[in-house]
Structure 1
Amino acid sequence: MDEASEPVPFEVYQAGVYLHGTKADLAVGDVLTPGRESNFEAGRVMNFVYFTETLDAATWGAELSSGAGRGRIYVVEPTGEFEDDPNVTDKRFPGNPTRSFRSAEPLRVVGELVGWTGHPPEKVQAMRDGLAALQQEGRAPIED
């Protein structure tokens, strides 16, 4: 699967296709499960796995997640019930225009997007700086 243009905020990648951005090196058939350390907060074990229908949100996940290596975007399939992600839908984007979700059930990797274009480096740095400032101010809690 290929994607060549910079992601557009709130634009659904493909109806019914779910994406997960990370730095983890996964293979088709692998599962993402709750109970693992957060991609964004060292030492925090997550109760949910997070995913989206927008390339923009998945790209942010791939670019901002912790760890070594390059960002990756996987096509995932929920194996159970899921809900809107309250971290963005209740706090920043009412109505869930980011099409962001979370599940207490595993996600199965069914493919990987290759050739996607990330955000410009200065935009990524500005986002990192903004998130770091929120954490320093104690205003970046993850509702998990």
Structure 2
Amino acid sequence: MSEATEPVPFEVYETGVYLHGTKADLAVGEMLVTGRESNFEHGRVMNYVYFTETLDAATWGAELSQGEGRGRIYVVEPTGEFEDDPNVTDKRFPGNPTRSFRTREPLRVVGELVNWVGHPPERLRAMRHGLENLNRQGGAQIED
């Protein structure tokens, strides 16, 4: 097995494998469902569950989500229909190169990636700073 390296933007982790980054401590077999508070927008109850095929997007989810503890990346399995995530695809990356999706159906946790590498501290700081600026300007609203 190769050594884990920093995630590459737009690079599919493994064809047909879906990932979800969070700080939640989940077990194999648990379901990620709608109706829970957003990992990114305090006080917002989510109508969708979000996931991706890229390690980069999952890593951002694990690093930036609210909550205590370390970020985690889970391998998930959709249980129903899903669509491209308009928060990313329509607003920032037309054509969905981030391979980001959302669903109203549960996602089943089927595994966890444990040897992933996060973004360098300076990139993480820059992303947090950019998100704080968006929040202050009212531009970080989730289209849910």
Please give the alpha-carbon distance, in whole angstroms, between the structure 2 residues aligned to 1:3 and 1:127: 25
Matches within 5 A, 1:1-144: 4-144=4-144
TM-score normalised by length of structure 1: 0.98
SS in 2 for 1:7: coil
Alpha-carbon RMSD across the aligned residues, in angstroms, is 1.3
Measure how far apart 1:105 and its partner are: 0.4
Which structure 2 segments of 5+ residues have no match? none
The Cα offsets for residues 60-92 of structure 1, whole Å up to 9 and x where unpaired, read as: 000000000000000000000000000000010
Please give the alpha-carbon distance, in whole angstroms, between the structure 2 residues aligned to 1:14 and 1:3: 16
Assess if the C-alpha contact under 8 Å between 1:53 and 1:98 holds in 2.
yes
SS in 2 for 1:122: helix
The Cα offsets for residues 32-75 of structure 1, whole Å up to 9 and x where unpaired, read as: 00000000011100000000000000000000000000000000
Measure how far apart 1:2 and its partner are: 8.6
Please give the alpha-carbon distance, in whole angstroms, between the structure 1 residues aligned to 2:67 and 2:10: 26
Please give the alpha-carbon distance, in whole angstroms, between the structure 1 residues aligned to 2:142 and 2:90: 12
The Cα offsets for residues 81-115 of structure 1, whole Å up to 9 and x where unpaired, read as: 00000000001000000000000000000000011
SS in 2 for 1:131: helix
Please give the alpha-carbon distance, in whole angstroms, between the structure 2 residues aligned to 1:133 and 1:56: 22
Please give the alpha-carbon distance, in whole angstroms, between the structure 2 residues aligned to 1:140 and 1:3: 35
- Letter aligned with residue 115 of structure 2: G
Assess if the C-alpha contact under 8 Å between 1:18 and 1:53 holds in 2.
yes
Which structure 1 segments of 5+ residues have no match? none
